[in-house]
Amino acid sequence: MQENNPPADHDAEASVLARFYHAASRHLAAFADFDLKAMSPLRLASHIALVLVIIGVLALTQLQPPEWRMSNALVLPDAAPTPTPEAVVSVAAYGGSSVKSGGPLVRSAAPFTTIPHRPRTDILTYEVQPGDTVFGIAEKFNIKPETIMWSNPTLEQNPDMLRIGDKLVILPVDGVYHKIKKGDTLAKIAKKYKVKIEDIVNFEWNHLDSADAALTPGEHLIIPGGEKPYVPRVVSVYQGPIPKNAKKGSGSFVWPASGYITQGFWNGHRAIDIGAWLGSPVVASDSGYVVFAGWDRTGYGNLVIIDHGNGYRTYYAHLSAIFVRVGDSVAQGVRIGSVGSTGRSTGPHLHFEIRYRNVQRNPLGFLH
């Protein structure tokens, strides 16, 4: 196939070249008549450059560009894709009846690969850092705080019993870390923690073959979904007669310290922690009389307990200093101590509880 230019275009091109030759001839003739001696060097250089340009253009116009011809090559069409049995099955499975499984299947590009989330099955060891709480550690590992308590015996009765540098067992799932005792069977363990035997057997970490597998005392099992009942801490308080001048509470509670909440009320921590500067004032949340003031061995550290004479008692723990004694009558808002970090604590804060007939209540529902 040869492409030919129309005659009109050819004539126009010839006319342009003729005019260019005519102009070039006039410039060369004029240059020949110049008096080179009378011409300045700058003007002479410019005329020479112009002549060289004209000569170059004339030389280029003598070149004949090659003629391009296209061969009549036969272009074959692409072969139609042939559906495989696997492709037909995939289309029918994912598209349902709305997809025709007899046509060709074109595979689309997939530049990204989605890696499915695989749950962790191993046990980790975590070292307690300054400012840590059981609740905060649980959030880091996406498990419940109760799971951390039930995996570490020192925390079961008191989640505040954290010390910087302590090593904690972190389970891969929510549940209980059970230490096997003599006489234990899977049936007894499942009943104790209210789970199915199959849940214990099927958990990969336990390496159990069947529900009748032999258990070795001293070893541990992970009980997925297992639970333990909550047991409140008991502190021996003053049991003598109520002082004659003892003030009675109003049932309305004020904030015992200024600061920010570092740990809220949850099943394993039935109190609130108020973070504050070391030595900050701690005041009586309501009027009453002191039934405990001193050191507590269960993890509270320096502790003050006030009985409000109406079924309510308030607990003020981890104090750095205590300003009252057992039997003292205190009015609401009177200073009773200072914020500290005594006992098992990872930083200065006030552990504050409100109990009604020894049942721990959420202080945030009472404070104003």
Among the candidates 224, 241, 269, a domain finishes at: 224
Rounded-to-integer distance, Cα 336 and Cα 254, Å: 14
Residue partners of 179: CB distance under 8 A and separation at least 6:
218, 219, 220
Confidence (pLDDT) at 89: 37
CATH number of the domain residue 210 falls in: 3.10.350.10
- The segment with the largest mean pLDDT, out of 236-240, 269-273, 304-308, is 304-308
- Cβ-based neighbours of 152, under 8 Å, separated by 6 or more: 168, 169, 177
54-73 pLDDT, tens digit per residue, is 777 666 666 555 555 545 44
- Domain membership of residue 248 (yes or no) is no
What is the per-residue pLDDT for 268?
73
Phi/psi for 306 (5° steps) reads -115, 130
Same domain, 273 and 201: no
Cβ contact 210:245 at 8 Å: no
User: Above pLDDT 90, what percent of the chain?
Assistant: 42
Q: Which domain holds residue 339?
A: 260-365
pLDDT at site 48: 75
Q: Which residue has the higher pLDDT, 15 or 251?
A: 251
Enumerate residues 6+ apart whose C-beta is below 8 A from 37.
Answer: none
**pLDDT (0 to 100) of residue 90:** 36
In the numeric block, the tokens 């959420």 are attached to 362
Q: What is the mean pLDDT of residues 258-263?
A: 90
Q: What is the per-residue pLDDT for 219?
A: 93
264 and 187, same structural domain? Answer: no
Same domain membership, residue 270 and residue 176: no
pLDDT recorded at residue 118: 58
Average of per-residue pLDDT across 198-224: 92
Give a yes or no: residue 318 inside a domain: yes
Tell me what pLDDT residue 9 has: 53
The reply to whether 101 falls in a domain is no
pLDDT digits 0-9 by tens, 277-294:
999 999 999 999 999 999
318-358 residue pLDDT tens: 999 999 999 999 999 999 999 998 877 778 999 999 999 88
Locate tokens 């309510």: which residue? 312
Do both 273 and 360 map to the same domain? yes
Residues 169 and 264 in one domain: no
3-state secondary structure 166-183: CEEEECCCCEEEEECCCC
Question: Does position 45 have pLDDT exceeding 90, yes or no?
Answer: no
Q: Compute the average pLDDT of residues 236-251.
A: 84
What is the domain count for the chain? 2
Grouping H, G, I as helix, E, B as strand and the rest as coil, residue 173 is coil
With cut-offs at 50, 70 and 90, classify the pLDDT of residue 262.
confident
Mark whether 337 and 269 lie in a shared domain.
yes
pLDDT band at 95 (very low <50, low <70, confident <90, very high): very low
Predicted confidence (pLDDT) at residue 246 exceeds the cutoff of 60: yes
Do 215 and 296 fall into the same domain? Answer: no
Q: Decide which of 29 and 159 is more confident.
A: 159
The pLDDT, as a whole number, for residue 99 is: 36
Q: Is residue 189 part of a domain?
A: yes
Is the dihedral angle over the CA atoms 230, 236, 238, 240 positive or is it negative? positive
**Residue at which a domain ends, from 174, 198, 224:** 224
Query: Given 3-state DSSP classes, what are the helix, strand and coil percentages for the chain, each rounded to the nearest 5?
Result: 25, 20, 55
In a domain, 34, yes or no: no
Q: Let me know if residue 148 belongs to a domain.
A: yes
pLDDT value at residue 28: 55
**pLDDT value of position 77:** 53
174-195 residue pLDDT tens: 999 999 999 999 999 999 999 9
Q: Tell me the CATH number at 328.
A: 2.70.70.10
Is residue 197 domain-resident? yes
Which residues fall within 8 angstroms of residue 187, CB to CB, at 6 or more apart?
Answer: 197, 211
What's the confidence (pLDDT) of residue 67? 56
Query: Out of 128-137, 211-220, 348-357, which region has the weakest mean confidence (pLDDT)?
Result: 128-137
* CB neighbour list of residue 86: distance below 8 Å, 6 or more residues apart: none
Asked if residue 155 is part of any domain, the answer here is yes
